[in-house]
Structure 1
Amino acid sequence: MNNTTDVLIIGGGIMGLTSAWRLAQAGVKVTLFESRSCGSGASSAALGALWPASSLVNAPLQNLHRKSLWEFEAFTKELADFSGKPVPFMRRGRVELLNSDKAKAHGEQEAAAACANWPQLSAGPAMEVLSAEELRRQFPEINVSPFGGQVCHRSAQVAVDGLLAALIEACRKAGVVLKENCAVQQLQGDGGSITGAMAGGEVYAAGAVLVAAGVHSNHLGFELRQRAPIKPVKGQALLLKTAEPLIHKIVKNGLIFLVPWPDGRVLVGSTTEPDAGFDSSNTVEGVSFLLNGAVQTCPGLASARLERTWAGLRPTGPNKKPVLGPMPNKRGLYVAGGHFKVGIGMAPMTGKLMAQMITTGKVPGEAMPFVPAAAEAALLA
């Protein structure tokens, strides 16, 4: 058995799969290990809402996230063509309900900046603020506040199950060796470099190792825990189903957001529970919060069928920023993870950047704020 590969990837979620596909497209021999089935972890718990960060914030993370979102439609088309599997994607926009005069003024500032600076991905303005009266006219199914709402026409949504299925198939077609239900026990190497990993009692040699194991990344060694700390933040969600679709855009109301699909399904999210540790169970409190918020936002959902509840553990880096790039003082070891709530949206750029860093050995400027050394510095600040 040949246990040698160019790049060994640990983790078969959205980051591991996207990075594996991009590396394989560049002619790199890739072997990916997943302790369960690919796409079964935090990635599968995501709701697929793709909305850009505030147009008034131009920090490195927000800029990179928006860049990734602007590429997302082309990414899904390329992926669908390559894999032969559909990747349902819709740019139907998002309505955010405003709760004060201050929020309305801020929303108008955001709308002006978005219209001035964002690309023209669809017809009409990138963003606008509507009065309560206009909002009720356009969206009679929503319980509108007196302050109206902000409509972001650049927001989109992707079916996460379809996205993951297409990535798995794309990896196979590109020649990636997928080793599912095969956990990596430990990394292999000497003091200054990583040369592979042990999995299933066998040693696999590799020119580079990419750790993309989400909340389990830090289990692979002290240096990962110290320089690339990724912690779980639990999020609960649920799925409702109506006979006919009630809403046609993503709706955000405070901490509640609704992601509707044309067949009457409505995904409802989400809680944010940083102290839950590795507990991924649903709670009465969490489900009640989501149900009450959904019905308060869209009263017609009171008669919807509750089809499913679930919870996921969001991999979260220091200061809720991802960790991307080479580990300092460990030649051949790379990390990609900790994206918190923007992992699905960041997948196109993360896969591209990780493939670029591993094949060239150089860190692009837009990735510099997220390298492990920067993450360690953030902890010490």
Structure 2
Amino acid sequence: MTKNIIIIGGGIVGATTAFYLAQNKENNVLLFDEGTGRATSAAVGIISPWLSQRRNKDWYFLAKEGAAFYETLLNDLDISNQTELYEKTGTLLYKKTPTLLDKLEKLAYKRLKQAPTIGKISRKSSNDVHRALPFFHPIDEALFITGGARVDGAKLIQAQKKSLANVIEEKVTTIAPTNSGWTLATDTQQFHCDELILACGAWLPELLTPLGYDVDIRPQKGQLIECQLEDRVKHAPVIMPVGEIDLMPLNDGRLLIGATHENDQGYDLTPDWNKLALLKQEATELIPELAETKIMHYRVGTRAYTSDFLPFFGEVDGLKNIWVASGLGSSGLTTGPIIGKTLADWISGIDTPFDSYRKTPNQYITKTND
């Protein structure tokens, strides 16, 4: 029997869910991808969660499995050789003091036992790093793990959407339950589905508030910049210095610098040139030649985050045949694909190792008190 499934939101979660559901030819999958402010399209992500200092064990398990899932995802998409989209370059990590770096190294070896995707672990002196990366001038020792990777979110979404027959670039304005599923409306059309997935990030309250639900989701503005450093950055590792910025070299010679985490800007997508200049200034302390290099491009997106900065995905009590995912924050490219695959598996009746998450939306989405 054909199952009509609609997904609202064409970011990393929605695109991955749609891709896997569409593999079953009995599913009629429709993806709404209006695209405004989508964080994934603005991001080039660092896939290196193993040394995170976050203490939440469920989040770490999700992020660890999300990083490991990329090999499966790329093989399923048949794009495992596209290094401009995803490349395991390794990650250089810095800490404020040698003592903190020692603690990070101990954590890396501890977690390596359960996460072999970390790869090889080694210490690198500032001279070691500068010899390998002449454009980079660090003054401290670093920890290097070979398993770290970078991924271009926009390219990944494009690859997933290629297999979809039905993508509508319109905004869904309302959703309403029916006896047999859900009815959706845009400015021009109406649609019906048996199962509905809301993967619309920071815009989730727009759809659920009219149904009488409070949603603990808010927008976070993220900005990053691109500068040109030519072929010297080709296949270079991603770099996580002390401070706000990360450095993401691309194989075409560009260097991405960012990103900001702005919790007070709402859904504003206007570039803040003062903040963009500060990103470049901080990077210039490590890469002096950036002082003579212009910002060639900028990216601005809107992340979704919760009051405790943890993601949620699964079912909402009182909303039959509806699935939600949001609150991924800045780890969206690490956790988004495994969340999308998990949603697809749940809808398909397949067991997953993430059942502890299945009811987490009810911690963040609650019925309004009349």
| TM-score range normalised by the length of the shorter chain | 0.7 to 0.9
Deviation by residue 1:243-287 (Cα, 9 ceiling, x = unmatched): 332471111112111100122111111111101111111213211
Q: TM-score, normalised by structure 2?
A: 0.87
- Decide whether aligned partners of structure 1 residues 224 and 155 sit closer, same or farther in structure 2, where only a CA change above 3 A counts: farther
1:246-265 → structure 2 map (5 Å cutoff): 246=233, 248-253=236-241, 254-265=243-254
Cα contact 1:325–1:363 (8 A) shared by 2: no
Aligned twin of 1:101: 98
Deviation by residue 1:163-209 (Cα, 9 ceiling, x = unmatched): 1211110223xxxx2111x221211215x985221223433221111
Please give the alpha-carbon distance, in whole angstroms, between the structure 1 residues aligned to 2:118 and 2:103: 23
Residue in structure 2 matching 1:291, options 276, 280, 284: 280
Q: Which runs of 5+ in 2 are unaligned?
A: none
The reply on whether 1:245 has 2:238 as its aligned counterpart is no
Deviation by residue 1:11-48 (Cα, 9 ceiling, x = unmatched): 122211111111111331111223358xx722111122
| Identical-residue share of aligned pairs (%) | 23
Cα contact 2:9–2:31 (8 A) shared by 1: yes
Residue in structure 1 matching 2:5, options 4, 7, 10: 7
Number of equivalent positions: 361
Please give the alpha-carbon distance, in whole angstroms, between the structure 2 residues aligned to 1:223 and 1:330: 13
Letter in 1 for 2:104: G
Residue in structure 2 matching 1:25, options 15, 23, 26: 23
Aligned twin of 1:169: 162
Residue in structure 2 matching 1:210, options 197, 203, 214: 197
Please give the alpha-carbon distance, in whole angstroms, between the structure 2 residues aligned to 1:239 and 1:55: 25
Cα contact 1:227–1:372 (8 A) shared by 2: no
Please give the alpha-carbon distance, in whole angstroms, between the structure 2 residues aligned to 1:224 and 1:239: 41
Per the TM alignment, residue 341 of structure 1 is displaced from its structure 2 partner at its CA by: 0.8
- Decide whether aligned partners of structure 1 residues 243 and 141 sit closer, same or farther in structure 2, where only a CA change above 3 A counts: closer
Cα contact 2:59–2:310 (8 A) shared by 1: yes
1:79-158 → structure 2 map (5 Å cutoff): 79-80=77-78, 88-120=85-117, 125=120, 127-146=121-140, 148-158=141-151
Residue in structure 2 matching 1:74, options 72, 75, 87: 72
Cα contact 1:210–1:333 (8 A) shared by 2: yes
Residue 52 of structure 1: SS of its match in structure 2?
A: coil
Please give the alpha-carbon distance, in whole angstroms, between the structure 1 residues aligned to 2:148 and 2:79: 23
Q: TM-score, normalised by structure 1?
A: 0.85
- Decide whether aligned partners of structure 1 residues 97 and 79 sit closer, same or farther in structure 2, where only a CA change above 3 A counts: same
- Decide whether aligned partners of structure 1 residues 365 and 44 sit closer, same or farther in structure 2, where only a CA change above 3 A counts: closer
Please give the alpha-carbon distance, in whole angstroms, between the structure 2 residues aligned to 1:315 and 1:120: 27
Per the TM alignment, residue 316 of structure 1 is displaced from its structure 2 partner at its CA by: 1.4
Residue in structure 2 matching 1:335, options 317, 321, 324: 324
Per the TM alignment, residue 370 of structure 1 is displaced from its structure 2 partner at its CA by: 6.3
Please give the alpha-carbon distance, in whole angstroms, between the structure 2 residues aligned to 1:332 and 1:196: 12
Residue in structure 2 matching 1:185, options 153, 167, 173: 173
Bigger drift between 325-334 and 47-56 goes to 47-56
CA RMSD after TM alignment: 2.9
Please give the alpha-carbon distance, in whole angstroms, between the structure 2 residues aligned to 1:119 and 1:258: 24
Per the TM alignment, residue 331 of structure 1 is displaced from its structure 2 partner at its CA by: 0.5
- Decide whether aligned partners of structure 1 residues 198 and 55 sit closer, same or farther in structure 2, where only a CA change above 3 A counts: closer
Letter in 1 for 2:73: F
Letter in 1 for 2:284: V
- Decide whether aligned partners of structure 1 residues 224 and 79 sit closer, same or farther in structure 2, where only a CA change above 3 A counts: farther
Cα contact 2:88–2:150 (8 A) shared by 1: yes
